[in-house]
Amino acid sequence: MPLVFKQSLRAERWKCPPLHSLILYHTPHVRKVDCKFDPGAEKLLPWILGGTPDECQELDGSATTSHANQLPDLEELRLTAMSEGYGKIWSIQEFEALFFHPNLKILRLDTFDWTQDVAEMMQWSNFTCNLRRLDMEESFIDGPTMRYILIYFKSLESLSIQLHNYDPAESDHYLSLDEFGDALRELGHNLAKFDLRTREFAIKWGLPGEIGPLQSLKSLQHLTISSEDLLSSVTRPDGRIRLADTLPPSLETLELLASHFLRNNQDPLYDVQDQIHELITGGFVPNLRNITLWKYLLPMDPKFELDIQGWDIDEEDAWGPKADDRYIETKAWLSHGWTLAHVSQHHQSWDRTITNLLGLRTAMEAALPRLRSIGSARPGCTLLRVTSCASCSSSSSRNFSVLNRPPPNYPGHVPLTKVERAGLAIGASVMSFFDPYRHDLIAATGEATATPYFIYRLRDAMLTDPTGRRILRARPRISSKTLSLTALRALPEDTVGRAYVGWLDREGVSPDTRASVRYIDDEECAYVMQRYRECHDFYHALTGLPIVREGEVALKAFEFANTLLPMTGLSIFAAATMKRSERQRFASIYLPWALKNGARSKEVINVFWEERLEDDVDDLRKELGIERPPDMRTIRKRERAEKKRLKELREGGF
């Protein structure tokens, strides 16, 4: 046992035993700790958690920049300071060593003082901090300390602050949101998440200033804040700063907390609702995934109305943290087949029709098309009716025939009636069965059979994956113009790019042979099909399957298990046209491999191939969960050699 720890135990032996420290000392490989303690009663906990310089070294003047590391595997820590005195908060200086733990990534501290006087006594610049997430709950922090945090916590990605209901006069500190906003704009460029909750403090003591525009925070994806803290006042004269003008384009989720002072005044709330409507329908934040709005429920509260064409709305019961905190909660998500572009076109249909019920809170959650997992209804929820504007209803119900065909939704699009689509699916699939090298027929079969369900399922798979969403936003294309085949040939042998171009050279094919999508009505879904089509050769390179009939059918079976596109499943029946030996090999080796690996692997549509060209191809297979099948060309070559040998033996009379 370290000397310092023994001396501390001996000094504390007449007091309450430091049980937390003893338990942690005997569990050195713990990874996550959640501890509630009295800082005044247990002095050893800061030392055992983070490690402080050895006391003897401090006294003799030797180096004090090295810290003990008693819990080397610690990755996540939550500390809650408990005391009998009401309103008591503890100085963070006593736990300064926590910031310098080499492996600690997540730190949640409850009821601590982070003010400037405390921060100036800390050794910020002497150590490297690897924290990625810092949550300060029921804490007291000012603008200068936030600057210290953003300067020295260089790896910090998530910062959450909940102000303690603490009288600032006791510490002679002045809190202003202006200082917070200046620090964020100047130093918060690496933050992906920022959460600021000031309600209890602001109601009791007041909190001047505003955070202000955050458009310079290019990495910010998740923001939680009240509208008053962000804009100071939700009501401004003409020329005001709009909500849409304060948010960065990278933002994906926005949660606007309930106003501090609107219990008896709902007029400003409608301005917030109007700004949210403008934010959604105007396309000002293209990456936005969901929005949540909180508001108080008053006894005579008017209906909170929000109805945007193409949106479903969901409602559920919820309560605030206190008994008198009563809200309305409503969730809204885009209906099947709708895109953000559709919403922008039909923004005039905002009809305001959400029910007002006692004991509920109001929230709105907006997501990209078909992302129902974010806004899915929960048990006990009430689904509200969404009305359609007259222009949309008339548009969707107009007569559609070969003589009255609607305009195309994108270049090259050919709208089809249901009869035409069914005829195309049947005719193209039958013809491609007898001639599997007719790629135009296979493409037409894929498009005709992908709607209405399967292509939407594949798009949803992309929307639920971060990489898939980036692909849908960027919409890259794969061709010899976008990929330098010469540069790919110069890559190391074991890279994805070299494997891809090597497969192209070996099989004698080009990335420019993929036909454009024509028969899928939804423009975004058309791109999903185009992306699947252009990535097909990467699947060949990853699996090593050749372009012979046996290899194509095996890869189609893999794609069917992974994507569920009907065309890929129908292609399996082409095995009936193979030779007997090929059918036997396909049924015994490649079909089981394809179904097993396709079903268990990750969605291959979500691979951003353009970013993975220099990665190790074996590492990518392992990441996706794909086992490489036996080399088909080697097996076929060996079989041909064996047949040739047997033929020569028969001709020789053996």
pLDDT at 365: 34
Please state the rounded mean pLDDT for residues 170-175.
64
Determine how β-strand 330-334 pairs with β-strand 311-315: antiparallel
DSSP 224: E
pLDDT at 39: 67
pLDDT tens-digit series, residues 202-249: 877 778 888 989 988 999 999 999 888 887 653 344 445 578 888 998
pLDDT tens-digit series, residues 387-398: 333 333 333 334
498 has a pLDDT exceeding 50: yes
pLDDT at 308: 57
pLDDT at 388: 32
- Give pTM, 2 decimals: 0.50
Helix (H, G, I), strand (E, B) or coil at 36: strand
pLDDT at 170: 57
Nearest of 428, 423, 473, 470 to residue 446 by alpha carbon:
428
pLDDT at 129: 82
Annotated binding-site residues for Zn(2+) read 536-537, 540, 552
Nearest of 607, 340, 371 to residue 467 by alpha carbon:
607
159 has a pLDDT exceeding 90: yes
Q: Give the number of other Cβ atoms within 10 Å of residue 377's Cβ.
A: 15
332 has a pLDDT exceeding 80: no
Nearest of 205, 109, 213 to residue 162 by alpha carbon:
109
**H-run or E-run covering 107:** strand 106-110
pLDDT tens-digit series, residues 104-119: 899 998 888 887 676 6
527 has a pLDDT exceeding 50: yes
Helix (H, G, I), strand (E, B) or coil at 245: helix
More confident residue, 401 or 212: 212
Which has the minimum average pLDDT: 73-77, 148-152, 349-353? 349-353
Determine how β-strand 290-293 pairs with β-strand 311-315: unpaired
486 has a pLDDT exceeding 80: yes
Which has the minimum average pLDDT: 169-173, 222-226, 239-243, 508-512? 169-173
Q: 31-35, 54-58, 316-320 — which one is most confidently predicted on average?
A: 31-35
Q: pLDDT band at residue 183, thresholds of 50, 70 and 90?
A: very high
Which has the minimum average pLDDT: 174-188, 402-416, 447-461? 402-416
Q: Where are the domains of the chain?
A: 418-638
pLDDT at 409: 86
Nearest of 184, 97, 173 to residue 141 by alpha carbon:
173
Are 414 and 406 spatial neighbours (Cβ–Cβ below 8 Å)?
no
Are 100 and 127 spatial neighbours (Cβ–Cβ below 8 Å)?
yes
Q: pLDDT band at residue 490, thresholds of 50, 70 and 90?
A: very high
